[in-house]
Amino acid sequence: MRLKRIAPTFPVRDVRVALAYYDRLGFATREYGDAIYGFAVDGDVEIQVGIVPDGKATVPATAYLYVEDADELAQEWTSAGGDVRPPEDTEWGQREGVLIDPDGNIIRFGSPLRR
């Protein structure tokens, strides 16, 4: 069997708020059902968001996104109002940054260091 793709699911308090955030960042979004679940898609990248029932404990989710240019994406997301930690060079050869959504979910993103 061959794996084809993965779509992380982020726990959120309000699906509509989460989808509006990802929409501002350039994702195409749509909700499912009575705003209990949603999808944020940009090309082959998909993030799913699901409502966390009241009183249920949860921890934020994390995903890693490989990109062509981490600095360019950081600037784009910052300009759109994203909570972005600027990219930094890593010892493992990546230039990596972080996006934190309103629910504390984390997207680490990186591109290869330019030689």
Q: What is the pLDDT of residue 55?
A: 61
Measured in whole angstroms, the distance separating CA 56 from the mean position of its chain's CA atoms is 22
Q: What is the pLDDT of residue 57?
A: 61
User: Using CB atoms within 10 A of its CB, is residue 1 exposed (0-12), middle (13-18) or buried (19+)?
Assistant: exposed
- Would 72 be classed as within a structural domain? yes
- Would 3 be classed as within a structural domain? no
User: Using CB atoms within 10 A of its CB, is residue 5 exposed (0-12), middle (13-18) or buried (19+)?
Assistant: exposed
Which residues, 6 or more positions from 4, have their beta carbon under 8 angstroms from its beta carbon?
Answer: none
- Would 1 be classed as within a structural domain? no
Q: What is the pLDDT of residue 18?
A: 96
pLDDT, tens digit (0-9, with 9 covering 90-100), for 18-57: 999 999 999 999 999 888 999 999 999 999 999 987 767 6
Look up the pTM and report it. Answer: 0.89
- Would 58 be classed as within a structural domain? yes
Domain that holds residue 46: 9-112
> What CATH number does residue 63 fall under?
3.10.180.10
The number of domains in the chain is 1
Measured in whole angstroms, the distance separating CA 64 from the mean position of its chain's CA atoms is 8
Q: Letter for the amino acid at 110?
A: G
Strands (E), the chain: 9-12, 28-32, 37-42, 45-51, 62-66, 83-89, 94-100, 106-112
- Would 14 be classed as within a structural domain? yes
Tell me the H-state helices in 9-112.
15-24, 70-79
